[in-house]
Amino acid sequence: MSVDQLEFRRVMGHFATGVTVVTSHDGAGKLGGLTANAVASVSLDPPLLLVCIDKKSDSYPLFDASRSFAVNILANQQETLSRRFAKSGGDKFTGVGYRIGVTGCPILTDTIAFLDCRVRYTFEAGDHTIYVGEAVEIAVGSDADPLLYFRGGYRNLSA
């Protein structure tokens, strides 16, 4: 029995997640990033986490170019930022606060946490590549509630 793509997306949309902006760079000054919720913790020793990146996204080449990425975990008031990074094109960083982390990836301001990572493993998985990174700098930030994503829409903890 084959599974319809839209139905797969709809059903997986019932798995409530946080929302992140995963940033990277090309090693020559070009920054990029995309909104992502296919993010998971993998290992404690060493500290590994994974992100799944669509091969068709504009940001995709950056991950292999720099072999690094930063996961920026968004606060509930950062829905506009999430929408900006969920669209291809334009300079996504104009007017956005950030600093450059130890891997060269942008660390966004006012997030609830970030993990700056160097790529250790990659796995081809259909139309995505799974990048497993080792966290080299991490911190929690604002104590705001998280931005959530559920059934195809943004949510917060109280609604």
Ligand X SMILES: Cc1cc2nc3c(=O)[nH]c(=O)nc-3n(C[C@H](O)[C@H](O)[C@H](O)COP(=O)(O)O)c2cc1C
Binding footprint of ligand X on the chain (CB under 6 A): 19, 34-38, 52-54, 57-59, 86-88, 149
Cβ closest to ligand X, residue 93 vs residue 144: 93
Amino acid symbol at 26: D
| Nearest distance from C-beta of residue 10 to ligand X, angstroms | 14
DSSP H stretches of helix in 2-157: 5-12, 60-66, 79-85
Cβ closest to ligand X, residue 1 vs residue 6: 6
Cβ closest to ligand X, residue 21 vs residue 107: 21
DSSP H stretches of helix in 23-150: 60-66, 79-85
| Nearest distance from C-beta of residue 1 to ligand X, angstroms | 26
| Nearest distance from C-beta of residue 83 to ligand X, angstroms | 7
